[in-house]
Chain A
Amino acid sequence: MNDLTDVSAWCGHWPFRALRPRDPAALKAYLQSQGVRRAWVSALESVLYPDPMDGNLPLVDAVAGDPYFAAIPIVDPSLALWRQDVEECIKRGAAQAIRLTPNYHEYALTDACADACVRFAGEREILVYVQLRMMDERTHHPLMKVAGVSVADLIALAARYPQVSFVVGAIYARDLARLRESPNLSVDLSLVESPLGLRQAVEALGPEKLLFGSQTPLIYYEANLQKMSTMPCDVPPQHLKGIRHGNADRLLSR
Chain B
Amino acid sequence: MNATHLKLPGIIDVHTHLFQGEADLDEAELALSLRLADDAGVTRQIQLGNLRLGTPTFARPDPEGIRKVNNHTLKAVARCPDRFIGFCYLNAANPTAASLEEIDRCCAVGPLRGLKFEFSLKATEPLYDPIVDRAEALGLPILHHAWINMEGGHEHESTPAEVAHLARRFPKVTFIMAHLGGARERGVCDIADCPNVLVDTSGSYPEAGHVEYAVRRLGAHRVVFGSDWPCRDYRTQLGRILGSQISPEQKAQILYHNAARVLKLEGTRS
**Which listed residue (A136, A141, A221) contacts B205, Cβ 8 A?**
A136
The reply on A217 being an interface residue by CB < 8 A is: yes
Q: Once the chains bind, are B208 and A217 in contact (CB under 8 Å)?
A: yes
Q: Once the chains bind, are A223 and B182 in contact (CB under 8 Å)?
A: no
Contacting residues, chain B, for A195 (C-beta < 8 A): 32-33, 36, 229-230, 233-234
Residues of B within 8 A of A (CB): 1, 32-33, 36, 39-40, 147, 149-151, 153, 181-182, 184, 204-209, 211, 229-230, 232-240, 242-244
**New A-B pairs, 11, CB < 8 Å, besides A17-B208, A225-B243:** A194-B232, A195-B234, A196-B32, A219-B207, A221-B208, A221-B243, A222-B243, A223-B206, A223-B237, A226-B236, A229-B235
CB-based A-B contact count at 8 angstroms: 100
Cα of A141 to Cα of B148 in the assembled complex, Å: 11
Cα of A229 to Cα of B230 in the assembled complex, Å: 18
Q: Once the chains bind, are B209 and A227 in contact (CB under 8 Å)?
A: no
Cα of A19 to Cα of B151 in the assembled complex, Å: 24
User: Which of B206, B234, B242, B244 is packed against the most chain A CB atoms within 10 Å?
Assistant: B206
Q: Once the chains bind, are B150 and A138 in contact (CB under 8 Å)?
A: yes
Contacting residues, chain A, for B233 (C-beta < 8 A): 193-195, 197, 226-227
The reply on A253 being an interface residue by CB < 8 A is: no
Q: How far in angstroms is the closest Cβ of chain A from B184?
A: 6
Give the dominant DSSP class at A's interface: loop
Cα of A44 to Cα of B217 in the assembled complex, Å: 27
> Which 9 pairs, one residue from A and one from B, show the smallest C-beta to C-beta distance?
A222-B243, A223-B239, A226-B235, A223-B206, A222-B239, A220-B243, A226-B239, A220-B206, A136-B204
Within 8 A of B (CB), among A6-65: 17-19
Q: Once the chains bind, are B230 and A138 in contact (CB under 8 Å)?
A: no
User: Which of B147, B153, B209, B230 is packed against the most chain A CB atoms within 10 Å?
Assistant: B209
Contacting residues, chain B, for A254 (C-beta < 8 A): none
User: Which of A145, A220, A225, A226 is packed against the most chain B CB atoms within 10 Å?
Assistant: A220
Contacting residues, chain A, for B211 (C-beta < 8 A): 220
What are 24 A-B pairs with beta-carbon distances under 8 A? A19-B208, A19-B209, A135-B207, A137-B150, A138-B182, A138-B204, A139-B181, A141-B150, A191-B205, A193-B236, A195-B32, A195-B229, A216-B208, A219-B205, A219-B208, A220-B207, A220-B243, A222-B240, A223-B237, A223-B243, A226-B242, A227-B235, A227-B236, A229-B235
